[in-house]
Amino acid sequence: MGDLTGKVAVVTGASRGIGKAIARAVAAAGARAVLIARSEAGLAETQREIESAGGAARYVVADLADPKSLAGVARSMRKIECQLDILVSCAGIGVFKPLLLTSTDEWDRVMAINARAPFLLARVLVPIMNTGGCIINVSSVVGVKGYANQGAYTASKHALMGMTKVLAQELQPRGIRVYVICPGGVDTDMVAQARPDLDRSVLMRPEEIAKIAMFLIDQEGMAVIDQINVRRSASAPWF
């Protein structure tokens, strides 16, 4: 794990699951972590865990479905930090039912959090991002596949994939790298909701995805990885 001392990292979805694991990892490497999620109790717990391990963290409570709340994130960042080096958009929700039974409100909220929020965060935070910084968008296996009863979630992750590809091209001249991670089944509350049939003992752990995020953050030199697909060992290769 590289040394991130002096770096600033924003992580959304930091109150639980993969986002929490990534927040703890960047803080353990020395970065000052700015934690974003809706749950203040969950954010406070993540902050306590980071600080008890000797790291530094602050949190900003925000509803990522609300553009005004995201504008508040930008204002808070400018108050507590004057720079940004790492942005990890990990927050996500899902609606797990047949596509034609999905309501308009359900569709809109999934798209707002999973696809629009990473776009809006990049728009308001890239202006304070240092050259050499990086953005990691956490997508999903459904960013490249389609699963029954996950229509809105699948559409939102496909949208995130497309946005990420364009953002990577547009920020390349500024020396900012943009990555996407597509995990399969990870032992999180959302996966338990989406796939109650899965044996949780064979699911990947959030910390395993955090290690991959740290690998991307540490990446240097002439070789660049754009996308990493990650499957659980029990699933079929090459999704």
Q: Are the beta carbons of 34 and 58 closer than 8 angstroms?
A: yes
Residue that is written with structure tokens 């990691």 in the block:
136
Among residues 59, 147, 153, 179, which one is catalytic? 153
For residues 174 and 218, the answer to whether their CB atoms sit within 8 Å is no
Answer yes or no: are the C-beta atoms of 143 and 164 closer than 8 Å.
no
Q: How far apart are the first and last CA of the chain?
A: 28
SS3 at position 203:
coil
Give every CB contact of residue 153 below 8 A, 6+ residues apart in sequence.
94, 95, 96, 110, 114, 140, 142, 194
Could you tell me where the beta strands, DSSP code E, fall in the chain?
8-12, 32-37, 56-61, 84-89, 129-138, 177-183, 227-230
Going by C-beta distance under 8 Å and a sequence separation of 6 or more, which residues neighbour residue 108?
none
The yes-or-no answer on residue 153 being catalytic is yes
Q: Which residues belong to the active site?
A: 153
